[in-house]
Structure 1
Amino acid sequence: MKSWVPLVIGVLLAAVGILWTLQGLGVVGGSVMSGNTTWAVIGPIVLVVGLVLAVIGLRRLRARP
């Protein structure tokens, strides 16, 4: 696997996690997910997973010869 793939996936997951959190909290409207507390819980979990993947990807890129 390319060393930049976890970084890209991590950044995308982090962005989705932020969006889902904001929708779950009712900050972002216009969706079935808006105001639903389930997404206010799932969003931060996805955000943390994305950040972990992004850090792994950055470390792999820096460790490349």
Structure 2
Amino acid sequence: MGRQAAVVVGVVMVLLGALWTAQGLGYVGGSAMSGSSTWAIIGPAVAGLGIGLIVAVLQRRR
């Protein structure tokens, strides 16, 4: 996977993680995920993995 693609995947993971966290905490309604503590746990984990991917890709030397 190219560097740019990996960064895009990482950004998408961070955004999805943030959305899932907000839904799990009940800040975003209209979904079966809203108010579910499971998504309040999965969201930050996915966002953290996305940040880790971005950091790893950007620190890797060519």
Establish whether TM, by shorter chain, passes 0.5. yes
Q: SS of the residue aligned with 1:33?
A: coil
* Alignment partner, residue 56 of structure 1: 56
What amino acid is aligned across from residue 18 of structure 1 in structure 2?
A
Cα distance in 1, alignment partners of residues 32 and 20 from structure 2 = 11
Cα deviations across residues 4-55 of structure 1 (Å, max 9, x unaligned)? 1211100000000000000000000010000000000000000100001111
Q: Which protein has the larger Cα radius of gyration, Structure 1 or Structure 2?
A: 1
- Which blocks of at least 5 consecutive residues in structure 1 are unaligned? none
Cα distance in 1, alignment partners of residues 6 and 52 from structure 2 = 9
Q: What is the TM-score of this pair, normalised by structure 2? A: 0.90
* Alignment partner, residue 4 of structure 1: 4
What amino acid is aligned across from residue 55 of structure 1 in structure 2?
V
Cα distance in 2, alignment partners of residues 4 and 47 from structure 1 = 18
Q: CA RMSD in A?
A: 1.1
What amino acid is aligned across from residue 19 of structure 2 in structure 1?
L
How many matched pairs?
A: 62
